[in-house]
Structure formats: structure tokens, C-alpha cells
């Protein structure tokens, strides 16, 4: 899904600046394959980056709600792959 999100962002005039994955090697590989400028070591590093305005969440479903909430708290705009959450309570949060 990351490729689909990347293409949509670029079509809208956006730039893929960074990716974050579970491992450093996976991040480097994803950044290369997707054409991102860099790979971050984890989501926290990406959320703390000053040059990131929008976060696309393309992770396993169980991580969507937590990552979306963390991104919003960091002042980022969020685009989340479906489902937003795996429970109604998490979605309402």
C-alpha cells in the first residue's frame, strides 16, 4: 500500500521525504524502492522531524490507531490506511 500512497501524494504535488519501518535495513530498502529522501530509524524519529507535514500510515491494522494518535499529537496531518482502528473505542479516541 505504501506505493499507492506514494503515487497519490506525488500526483497531488507532494514529496516523499522519509519512511520508517521496523528495522534500519528495512527502512533503507523501503526508502530506496519508494524514492524517499531518507529512512528514519522508527516512527518516533519521523514524527519528531520538522520537515514532515503529513504522515501516511501503511502499517499492520493493529498499529493504526496508536500511530495516528501519536502523529496528531506531534502536529502532523494523517492519512491512514483502512481500518483506522480495530475497535470503536480506539477509533473514537
Q: Which three cell numbers stand for residue 18?
A: 522519509
Apex 81 CA angle, 59 and 24, nearest 5: 25
Residue positions annotated with a catalytic role: 82
**Chain centre to alpha carbon of residue 10:** 15
Amino acid at each position: 500500500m505504501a506505493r499507492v500512497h506514494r503515487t497519490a501524494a506525488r500526483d497531488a504535488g507532494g514529496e516523499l521525504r522519509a519512511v520508517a519501518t521496523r528495522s534500519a535495513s528495512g527502512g533503507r530498502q523501503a526508502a530506496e524502492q519508494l524514492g524517499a529522501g531518507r529512512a528514519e530509524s522508527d516512527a518516533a524519529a519521523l514524527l519528531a522531524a520538522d520537515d514532515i507535514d503529513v504522515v501516511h500510515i501503511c502499517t499492520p491494522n493493529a498499529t493504526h490507531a496508536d500511530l495516528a494518535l501519536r502523529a496528531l499529537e506531534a502536529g502532523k496531518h494523517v492519512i491512514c490506511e483502512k481500518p483506522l482502528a480495530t475497535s470503536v473505542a480506539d477509533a473514537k479516541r
